[in-house]
């Protein structure tokens, strides 16, 4: 079994930075790679700011923060991943993008290195088949925000070896995360249940059953959810929600997974949620205001 000491993370956005953050805190050497060195460096800056928040909240000590930052490198090219024991891809939820990334990084990885994807919905078996190492490939799906959420879903493809699974399990345990194991079916466990609920909340809005505020208030106070489904959709990103619903609809051929037309329209408008400043709420002022 490969002993995992060095982690490569592809993608310096919210998820990639979060994965690098928790890996470095757990004692792993981490290299972050993105389309440019500047993007990778920005990911390191995001991690530093998030570590400062943890320090201010008393969750880590100053020594923990400094040690974690000393373990993180912003890559200047894919070649920097060449000595990684495990590389985790955390790019956009787009299969074509992920395949291009795998083609690029497989060319520089050691033959025995493990490769994982943080996909929230796409077939692990199909992604693995596009690489040169399907036996050493699996899904390690972190929840957002990674430093806060306790769960990680491990997903084995049809070719994933026992050794690869055990190495990934040991990595997740060292991070201090709880783990579930999902079969390789569209959207796995969490999003197979969560996304249709969010999609149904959008249909409830689309059909005029309730306003944004009424729907979110109803689910927070009536179902004891910490965040309303429309607020949660904005936090996740409406483009990501739509991508996952499309994977479910295409993969399972069941009309109950049809993405709501209103979700499609918001994505077409570029109203993708918090990251775009507008979604089901408008975030451009001091407090979020419902857009419907």
Residue 142 C-beta-side C-alpha neighbours within 13 Å: 31
Q: Is 141 a catalytic residue?
A: yes
Strands 72-74 and 29-33: parallel
Q: Is 36 a catalytic residue?
A: no
The single-letter DSSP state of residue 160 is: -
Q: Given 118, 121, 191, 199, which residue is catalytic?
A: 191
Q: Given 23, 120, 182, 243, which residue is catalytic?
A: 120
Q: Given 50, 123, 141, 199, which residue is catalytic?
A: 141
CA distance 279 to 292: 10
The single-letter DSSP state of residue 278 is: B
C-beta neighbour count of 136 within 10 angstroms: 23
Report the sign of the C-alpha dihedral through residues 38, 174, 147, 70, in that order. Answer: negative
Strands 6-10 and 29-33: parallel
Q: Given 21, 118, 123, 153, which residue is catalytic?
A: 153
Return the biggest CA–CA distance within the chain.
55
The single-letter DSSP state of residue 80 is: G
Asked whether the beta carbons of 26 and 13 are under 8 A apart, the reply is no
Q: Look up residue 19 and give its two tokens.
A: 């994965």
| Residue matched to tokens 């208030």 | 217
Asked whether the beta carbons of 10 and 90 are under 8 A apart, the reply is yes
Backbone angles phi, psi at 14, to 5 degrees: -60, -45
User: Where are the strands (E) in 35-101, listed by range?
Assistant: 72-74, 86-89
Catalytic amino acids?
A: 120, 141, 153, 191
């Amino acid at each position: 079994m490969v002993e995992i000491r060095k982690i490569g993370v592809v993608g310096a956005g919210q998820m990639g930075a979060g994965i690098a953050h928790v890996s470095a805190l757990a004692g792993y050497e981490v290299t972050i790679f993105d389309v440019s060195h500047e993007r990778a460096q920005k990911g390191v800056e995001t991690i530093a700011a998030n570590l400062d928040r943890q320090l201010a909240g008393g969750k880590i000590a100053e020594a923990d923060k400094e040690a974690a930052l000393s373990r993180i490198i912003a890559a200047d090219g894919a070649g920097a991943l060449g000595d990684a024991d495990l590389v985790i891809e955390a790019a956009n939820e787009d299969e074509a993008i992920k395949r291009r990334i795998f083609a690029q990084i497989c060319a520089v990885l050691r033959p025995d290195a493990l490769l994982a994807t943080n996909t929230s919905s796409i077939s692990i078996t199909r992604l693995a088949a596009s690489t040169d190492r399907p036996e050493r490939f699996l899904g390690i799906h972190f929840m957002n925000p990674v430093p806060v959420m306790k769960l990680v879903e491990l997903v084995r493809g049809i070719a994933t070896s026992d050794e690869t699974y055990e190495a990934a399990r040991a990595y997740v345990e060292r991070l201090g995360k709880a783990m579930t194991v999902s079969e390789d079916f569209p959207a796995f466990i969490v999003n197979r249940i969560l996304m249709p609920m969010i999609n149904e909340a959008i249909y409830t809005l689309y059909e005029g059953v309730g306003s944004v505020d009424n729907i979110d208030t109803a689910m927070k106070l009536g179902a004891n959810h910490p965040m309303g489904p429309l607020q949660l959709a904005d936090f996740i990103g409406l483009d990501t929600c739509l991508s996952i619903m499309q994977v479910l609809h295409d993969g399972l051929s069941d009309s109950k997974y049809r993405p709501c037309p209103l979700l499609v329209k918001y994505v077409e408008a570029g109203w993708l949620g918090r990251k775009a400043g507008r979604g089901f709420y408008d975030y451009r002022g001091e407090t979020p205001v419902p857009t419907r």
